[in-house]
Structure 1
Amino acid sequence: MKRSCSMRPSTPAAASSRNRSWIFYADMKRTLDIGTFSGLLLGVAAIFGSFLLEGGQIGALLLIPAMVIVFGGTFATAMIGTPMEVLKRFPRTLRLAFVAPLFDYRTAIDSVVRFSMIARKEGLLVLERHLDGVEEPYLKRMVRYMVDGVEISVLRSIAETESQYVSDRHHRHIALYQRMGGYSPTMGIIGTVMGLIATLANAGQDPTLLIQHIASAFIATLWGVFMANIVWLPIADKLRSLDDEEQVYMSLVTAGVISIQEGEIPSVIRSKLNSMLPKERQVEET
C-alpha cells in the first residue's frame, strides 16, 4: 500500500523513528523464551533421534563439505539481497528469538490508570513529575507529549506513524530469516548435485564405495531442509509474533494516554485497556 510521503516529517516521532530498529527491545526487560528452546531441542531430537533408531550414526551427517555449501551459500545469498544495516543486526535479532522482550501489559495498564487518577486530582501538568519512575519508554514518551499539550489528533497521528515505522523496520529483519529459509533448501540441492557429479565421475570404483558416496551427497539436502524448517522459518515466525505483541502494547498505551487526555474515569480506562488483550492475558480488575 502506498503511503503519503508528506505525512512522515509532520510528527515528532517520524524523524526519530528513522534511526530506530527494535527500539523497545533494547530497553525492555527480557525473559528466556522456553518455547523457542524447547521447540528447537524437540525438533533436533525427533529428526536425529529417528536417524539413530534406524541404525544411522550422527557422525555420518556431519559432512563438512555439505555443511559449508549449505551454511556458506545461504549466508552468501542472503548478504547479496540484504542491506548491510540489517545484516549487522543479525546476531541481535537471532538472540531475540531465544531471549525475548517481556511486554508487561499489567504494568502498562496499572501505570496508565495511576496517571489517570493523578490527572483527575491534580491536573495533567503534574504528571511530568511522575515520569522519572516510569521504565516503559513508549509510555513515558506518550505521556510527555500529552503533558506538553499535544492535541489528541496529533498524538494519535504520532502513535500511528511511529507504530508503522517500527513495524516496517522489524519486518525488514524478519524478511532476512524468511529469505534464508528459502535459500537453504536450494543450497542443499546444489550441494547434492555437486556430490552426485563427483560420485558419478568416479563410477568405475567399487560399487559399495559408490553407494556410500551417493548417500553422502544427499546429506547437503538434509541440512538445507533442516535449517530452513527447524531454524530459519520458525525464527521468522517468532520475530513476527514479537512484532505483533509490540503492536498490541503500543496500541494499548496509546489508547490509555488518549483516554486520560479525554478525561475518562480510571475504572473505564482499565476496562477499555483490558478489552484490548486476549482473555488469558487480561489484568484482573480491582
Structure 2
Amino acid sequence: MDILSLIGVVLAFAAILGGNLLEGGTLAMLFNGPAAIIVIGGTLAAIIIQTPRPVLVRAGKIFGWIFMPPYLAPEEGLDKVIGWSLRSRKEGLLGLESLADSEPEPFARKGLQVLVDGSEPEAVRAILEVELEFGEERDLDAARVFEAMGGYSPTIGIIGAVMGLIQVMTNLEDPATLGSGIATAFVATIYGVAFANLLLFPIASKLRSLVRQRSRYQEMMIDGLMAVAEGENPRSIELRLRGYLQ
C-alpha cells in the first residue's frame, strides 16, 4: 500500500474539518446533501459525456493504483536480466524457454517468449515498443479523466452556489428557508474547489507519475533483452542498465 497517498487524503480532510472547527464551526455545517449531489453528480455527468467508454473503464481500473500501485522492482528486474544473460551465454537463447514460462511479469514474459521463438532482436524491440507505447498512452488518457474532472468540479460548484442563491432570492419573504439556501451556495463552492485541488488533480498527477515509472521500467527491460539477444557481456549489461535506476 502507498502509505503517502493515505496520509495525504487523511490530512486533506483533517485540514478542512479541523480548520472549520477552529473557526468555531461544526462538522454539520460542511455536510450538505443537495450540494454534494450537485457537485458530485454534475462532475460525473460531465466526464461521462466527454470520455469514450474504454478510457472511462480504464480510469476506473487504475484508480486503485493511488493506494495499491503496480509492483515494480527495478533492482529485481536488473538481477533478472543479468541472470538471463548468464544463462543464455551458457545454454543459448533456447535455455531461456523455461524461464519465460515461469516469469510472473507479463511484459518481461512476452519479451522472453518472442526472443526464444527465434525472432530477430529488432523485431523483438519493435513488438515490445508497440506494447509499451500503447500501454503508456492508454493509461495517460485514463489519468487525464481525473484531471478533466478537476477542471469541471469547481465550475459545477459555482452552479450549485448560484442555485442556492436563486433559492434565497425567491424566498426572501420566508426567513426559514434562507439558511438552507445560503448553506447550499457556499458549501457547493467548497465541495467543488476542495474535490478538485485536494483529490482530483493530485490523483491525476500521481497516476501520470506511476505510468511513467512503469514505462521507464519497461524501457529498461527492452534494453536488457536486446543486450541478451546480442550476447553482450553481463557486466556491460549491468553497467548500462544501472542508469535506469538513478
- Class of the TM-score when normalised by the shorter of the 2 chains: over 0.9
| Aligned with 1:232 (options 182, 200, 214) | 200
| Aligned with 2:230 (options 237, 243, 262) | 262
Alpha-carbon distance in 2 for matches of 1:212, 1:83: 37
- Residues 124-162 of structure 1, C-alpha deviation per residue, up to 9 Å, x if partnerless? 111112223321111111122112222122222222211
- Residues 19-54 of structure 1, C-alpha deviation per residue, up to 9 Å, x if partnerless? xxxxxxxxxxxxx11111111111111121111100
Comparing 117-126 with 209-218, greater Cα deviation is found at 209-218
- Counterpart code for 1:46: A
Q: CA offset at residue 87 of structure 1? A: 2.7
Alpha-carbon distance in 2 for matches of 1:89, 1:142: 24
- Residues 248-286 of structure 1, C-alpha deviation per residue, up to 9 Å, x if partnerless? 1110100100011121111111111111122xxxxxxxx
The residue that corresponds to 1:272 in the other structure is: 240
- Of all paired residues, the percent bearing the same amino acid is 40
Instruction: Extract unaligned runs of 5+ from structure 1.
Output: 1-31, 279-286
Alpha-carbon distance in 2 for matches of 1:162, 1:132: 19
Is residue 163 of structure 1 aligned with residue 136 of structure 2?
no
Comparing 58-67 with 144-153, greater Cα deviation is found at 144-153
Alpha-carbon distance in 1 for matches of 2:184, 2:106: 53
> What aligned pairs does 1:201-216 form with structure 2 within 5 A after superposition?
201-206=170-175, 210=178, 213-216=181-184
The residue that corresponds to 1:12 in the other structure is: none
Alpha-carbon distance in 2 for matches of 1:198, 1:92: 39
- Counterpart code for 1:179: A
The residue that corresponds to 2:186 in the other structure is: 218
- SS of the residue 1:101 aligns to: coil
Q: CA offset at residue 90 of structure 1? A: 4.2
| Aligned with 2:34 (options 65, 80, 101) | 65
- SS of the residue 2:25 aligns to: coil
Alpha-carbon distance in 2 for matches of 1:234, 1:107: 29
Give the paired residue count.
Answer: 246
TM-score, structure 2 as length reference:
0.94
The residue that corresponds to 1:76 in the other structure is: 45
The residue that corresponds to 2:217 in the other structure is: 249
Q: CA offset at residue 212 of structure 1? A: 6.4
> What aligned pairs does 1:1-286 form with structure 2 within 5 A after superposition?
32-206=1-175, 210=178, 213-278=181-246
Alpha-carbon distance in 2 for matches of 1:247, 1:152: 20
- Counterpart code for 1:77: A
- SS of the residue 2:132 aligns to: helix
Alpha-carbon distance in 2 for matches of 1:276, 1:238: 20
